[in-house]
Amino acid sequence: MNYADLFRVTLPETMLEIAALLVLVMDLAFLRKAGLRVRAAAAALVGVAGCGAAAWALSATGGGSLRAGDELLLAGGGSAAVAQYGILALTALTLLLLIDSVFTRHVGEFVAVVLMSATGGLLIAAAQDLLVIFIGLELLSLGLYILTAFAKQSGRSAEGAMKYYLFGGMSAAFLLFGFSYLYGLTGSTNLLPVMLRIHQATGPSADPLLLVSLVMIAAGLGFKVAAAPFHFWAPDAYEGAPAPGAAFIASVSKVASFALLISIGTAGAYASGTSNAPNEGFIGPWTLVVTVLSLASMLAGNLAALAQISVRRLLAYSAIAHAGYILLGLAFFSRSNASAAAILYYILTYGLTTIGAFGAVGVVERATGSDRMDAFLGLYKRNPLLAAVLLVLFLSLAGIPPLVGFWAKFNLFAAVLSVGAGPIAFSLVALAVALSAVSLYYYLQVLKRAFVMPVADPAGRVEKISVDPVTMIVLVAIAAAVVVMGCFPALLQGWIAGFYAAM
Amino acid sequence: MLAWTIYLSFAGALVEALLPKGRAGLARGVALVVAAGGLVIAALGFAADAGHGRVTIVDVPWVPSMGIHYTLAADGISLVLVLLTGLAAVAGVLFSWNIELRVNEFFAFFLALIGGVYGVFLSFDVFLLFVFYEVAIVPKYFLIAIWGSTRREYAAMKLALYSFAGSAMVLIGLLAAYATAGSHSTGLVQLGHAGLPVHFQMWAFPLVFVGFAILAGMWPFHTWAPTGHVAAPTAASMLLAGVVMKLGAYGCLRVAMSLFPHGMDPWGFSFIGIGSWRDVFALLAVIGIVYGALVALVQSDFKFVIGYSSVSHMGFVLLGLMTLNQIGMTGAVLQMFSHGVLAGLLFAIVGRMVYDRTHTRQLAELESMHLSRRMPFIAGAFVVAGMASMGLPGFSGFVAELQVLAGAWKANPWWTGAAGVGIVVGVAYTWRALQKAFFSDVRPTAEDHPKTGWHDLGAITWPEMTGFALLTLASLWIGLYPRVLLDAIEPAVKTLFAGGGQ
């Protein structure tokens, strides 16, 4: 490793950091007298430009990887590159939705924190070393705590952030503890050597120390992806955070964390493929732990969502359920790229949809002051276009074809069945499909209020909801993308597959 | 060419959604033009392709990585059902001419539903079929929940959840078949030839069959049907009973039975005379026939009578499918067409002609209104439709049910006996409804008077006349000259036998 390599490989991250600093300087030095809207627009635009520059840097460096001696620190190309492009695109969309937000006067700082968090996301998407993973995760998480707390006038924002922070601190400790065991077991901090040595060292039955360490790691990462039973922060954070912050937490941080899990799964699958020893090594216990998380998340998320009256909390529980489906893909992980591609497809499209959903909820919230389901009453009259966007996004989350959410689930479950053809994998997939039928109920609860039930106002007055044109364009673009990618699912699949072919 | 039925309907739905609000006449006109265009294309396609075996319309890769193709094709069965969909769509638009609430959206959802239905009948790739099948669910929910009547939100949610639960079962079965076959094609024909292991077919068949049969109103999964039909606005009831229930039966035939033919093989043991999944579903079908008819006999709500009669008539379709012989299955497909037309007609009479004028569907209240004298056209229409529905020779129902019964006799005479009871009860409930609703002499009591009202019931409008004529003539035509459809259906059923490994 030399510094030229380091600079070259981390150019995208550097671009984001430069953009973050530029936003701060511009906002604090030049735009102090400007109106809030101008400042928000300027900050968001610089942020988006930063994301664009980072994406350019990513394609220009050609997805190089960074090595220290023999050990891979940052992977390039393949899953990492897909996740990094996804993170940049979703970050840019989040920033565009920020423009007409009014929750804070410190828009410059907000954008800067978003960009720095995204930097952490880029790092962990590529990280192949336990220490880099940990640093990237902390960089991402610290930003998220701040974003959650950003609406300073709101008590719920502070409460959500405090819960998120306490849980996060504890789970980081668990994660580090688990990593230290892995290091103790294998004498390495690098993913691939760690996996290889586990395979060589452990006997036919799993080492208890390995199980302890994997459970600790699962707790730490399960917190990041909001998997039950480590999900308790999610509803409060989603409810309290300002809408763009919540969208960022629900999309970008999920993409990054699942990309990390894909790295772990890929390394484990690769190691099990190379070793001749007839033991399950890492894969067996890891599958067990992840399956338990997946099952708990699918059940807890879908069932708890049935009872919600706050749409944001509903989205939080639905996010837990979606995390459950994805974890199923991670539990039955193939040595080929099929699983990784299916999971990335799922998480990218889910991130896109959920940003749109939070954007739409944010608009309704600003107009009515509430995110209760009843705030959506009569939405089709108050803003037909917004109602149509909401229809598309929620149905996509429920997995109704021909929207992209259906293909995400379909790919993922097909990948699971192609790996684990046994009755266990099959019953888990059957449960997942059955629970997504359940999920239609709670998504329809929101859509029912938007389209079916009349406005609650006794006088029958209908207040129009006006939406900022930029926000509306972004939301319509997201909905259109959901429809187009749903009608032509091969577009995104081909794009993802291109990265694996290039490796 | 037939593919344009799908595109035209979806384009129509989009246009309706974008039309300026408050121009109800324009919205109706557009809907009628689109629906009629669909019918014309369906009829031309029928005339051109009937008797030519399976005609592939489009076949392009859709999701290459999984081998999913965008395959649209049509054989005799598809052609008949596409024709039915065209008829039901035009009649549905005509009978919803008086809708004033959110007209654009109504027709947008209506046409989206129609487009999905056309898509199902024309798909020859299992996952494409599944996609269209699900596309049809959401518009149903909104049609009932927004424009419905009695307990509409409950009925709409129940229908949506039943449909979605059914389609979840189908999806599980199809995913498993895809993974088990390990082939890189999901075409119906290719997957049917993939040689799925018999033990796999044994459990995949009931899963997928029940998943589809839920939508076909198979007892005991029928409970969404009466509540859904009753709550739905007239056009939606017509479509629900007329074509959406056919989607379920069509899925049973096209997907479950042709992909997993060995699922109907004997188990190797028998329990109270039931020795295979085929016996189980035939029994459920017969129970549905008799149960639906008996429950229809005691309803106090006119629309529930028709709702339960649909369950009974759809039982004939499922029974016909389970006969597994040429005549029975041909009869089943013909019964799909026949019931599609007749159920549409009955719901149009009850929902549009009677309810929209009298604002009640309670037989007890209708008794005192003397509708036969005040609205002779409606009474006459119901006499015709009722006779056709109870299987009077000369109408389509007679030919279809006769074939189903003949096929059932070949397979198991007991089924025919039990189904015959259903027909007799069918005569009874139709007669009872006819008598109570139209030809009763009960004098209105004083307290009835203000509520039921002797207000002006309004004349029969031209859309009602046209819709009535369209559906009645279709039923009569098929009843008198069934060869038109049979010539298309019979070769298709034969091919299904040959390809299905029976």
Name the packing angle between helices A233-240 and A155-186 (round to 10°): 140
For chain A, give the longest Cα–Cα distance.
76
CA atoms within 13 A on the CB side of A13: 21
Beta bridge partners of B70: B60
Half-sphere exposure (Cβ direction) of B105: Cα atoms closer than 13 Å: 20
For residue A412, what is the nearest residue in chain B, using CA coordinates? B175
Please give the pLDDT value at position B154. 87
Per the CB < 8 Å rule, is A440 touching B172? Answer: no
Chain A residues with CB under 8 Å of B164 CB are 437, 440
Which residues of B are less than 8 Å from A452 in CB distance?
142, 145-146, 153, 156
CB contacts < 8 A (A, B): 79
What is the value of ipTM here, to two decimals?
A: 0.88
pLDDT at B482: 87
For an interface test with A, give the residue of B65, B138, B143 to mutate (most A CBs within 10 A). Answer: B65
Residue A458: the pLDDT is 64
| A401 interaction partners in chain B (CB closer than 8 Å) | 130-131, 134-135
DSSP characters over A417-447: HHH--SHHHHHHHHHHHHHHHHHHHHHHHHH
CB B250 within 8 A of CB B333: no
Do residues A124 and A255 make contact, with C-beta atoms less than 8 angstroms apart?
A: no
How far A44 CA lies from chain B's nearest CA (Å)?
Answer: 32
- Least Cα distance to A142 among A117, A159, A110, A125 occurs for A117
Q: Do A417 and B179 touch (CB under 8 A)?
A: yes
Q: How far apart are CA B197 and CA A421, in angstroms?
A: 14
Q: Considering CB atoms only, which of B131, B156, B157 is closest to A401?
A: B131
Nearest to B146 among A407, A433, A452 (CB): A452
Phi, psi of A190 (to 5 degrees): -100, 135
Closest chain B residue to A494, measured at CA: B65
Chain A residue closest in CA terms to B207 = A430
Chain A neighbors of B64, CB-CB under 8 A? 490, 494
- Whether chain B has a CB inside 8 Å of the CB on A434: the answer is yes
The CA distance from B213 to B496, in Å, is 19
User: How is residue A220 annotated by DSSP?
Assistant: H
Angle at which helices A384-398 and A404-419 cross, to 10° = 10
End-to-end CA distance of chain A: 21
C-alpha to C-alpha distances, A322 to A227, A346, A480, B177, B347, nearest whole angstrom? 9, 9, 22, 24, 41
Cα–chain center distance at B360: 25
Residue bearing tokens 């007749």? B342
Interface test with B, best of A452, A476, A495 (most B CBs within 10 A): A452
Q: What is residue B60's three-state secondary structure?
A: strand
Residues lower than pLDDT 50 in chain B: 500-502
Yes or no, beta carbons of B138 and A402 under 8 Å apart: no
Residues sharing a CB contact under 8 Å with residue A215, sequence separation 6 or more, in sequence order: A178, A289
Query: Does the CB of B138 have a partner CB in chain A at under 8 Å?
Result: yes
The angle formed by the CA atoms of residues B482, B487 and B488, to the nearest 5 degrees, is 110
Report the amino acid identity of residue B80: V
Instruction: Identify all chain B residues contacting A414, using CB atoms and an 8 Å cutoff.
Output: 66, 175, 178-179
CB contact under 8 Å between B164 and A430, yes or no, is no
Q: Which of residues 178-217 of B touch A (CB under 8 A)?
A: 178-180
Q: Which pLDDT tens digits describe chain A residue by residue (503 residues)?
A: 678 888 888 888 999 999 999 999 998 888 878 888 888 888 889 999 999 999 998 888 766 778 777 778 888 778 888 999 999 999 999 999 888 777 778 888 899 999 999 999 999 998 999 999 999 999 999 999 999 998 888 888 899 999 999 999 999 999 999 999 989 888 888 888 888 888 777 655 567 888 888 899 999 999 989 988 888 899 999 988 888 899 999 999 999 999 999 998 888 888 877 655 445 566 778 888 899 999 999 999 999 999 998 999 999 999 999 999 999 999 888 878 888 999 999 999 999 999 999 999 988 888 888 888 888 888 888 888 999 999 999 999 998 888 999 999 998 998 888 887 678 888 899 999 999 888 999 999 899 888 888 776 666 667 788 888 888 999 999 999 999 999 998 889 889 988 888 76
Distances (CA, A) of A81 to A115, A256, B397: 18, 11, 62
Q: Which runs of consecutive H residues, i.e. helices, occur in B197-276?
A: 198-215, 224-231, 234-239, 245-251, 258-259
Q: Which residues of chain A make contact with B134, given a CB cutoff of 8 A?
A: 400-401, 406
Report the 10 Å Cβ neighbour count for A299: 17
Tell how strand A71-74 and strand B55-63 pair up: unpaired
CA distance B133 to A364: 32
What pLDDT shows up at residue A460?
A: 64
Contacts of A480 in chain B (CB under 8 A): none
B105 vs A contacts (CB less than 8 Å): 380
Question: Is the bond preceding A402 in cis, omega lying within 30 degrees of 0?
Answer: yes
CA B448 to chain centre: 37
**pTM (predicted TM-score):** 0.91
Report how far residue A274's alpha carbon sits from residue A268's, in angstroms, rounded to the nearest whole number: 10
The half-sphere exposure of B42 on its side-chain side, counting CA atoms within 13 A, is 33
Contact B264, B205 (CB under 8 A): yes
Instruction: Measure CB to CB from residue A490 to each of B64, B127, B131 and give the nearest one.
Output: B64
d(CA B199, CA B202): 5
Distance (Å, whole) CA A74 – CA A66: 5
Task: Kindly identify which residue of chain B lies nearest to residue A447, measuring between CA atoms.
Answer: B142
Instruction: Tell whether A452 is within 8 A of chain B (Cβ).
Output: yes
Amino acid B193: pLDDT:
78
Asked if the Cβ–Cβ distance from B165 to A413 is below 8 Å, we say no
Concatenating the DSSP letter of every residue in A273-333 gives: HH--SSS-TTHHHHHHHHHHHHHHHHHHHHHHHTT--BHHHHHHHHHHHHHHHHHHHHHS-
Residue B330, strand partner residues: none
Residue B235 tokens read as 């056009």
Q: Is A489 on the interface with B (CB under 8 A)?
A: yes
Token pair for B221: 């999964």
Query: Residue B502 has what pLDDT?
Result: 33
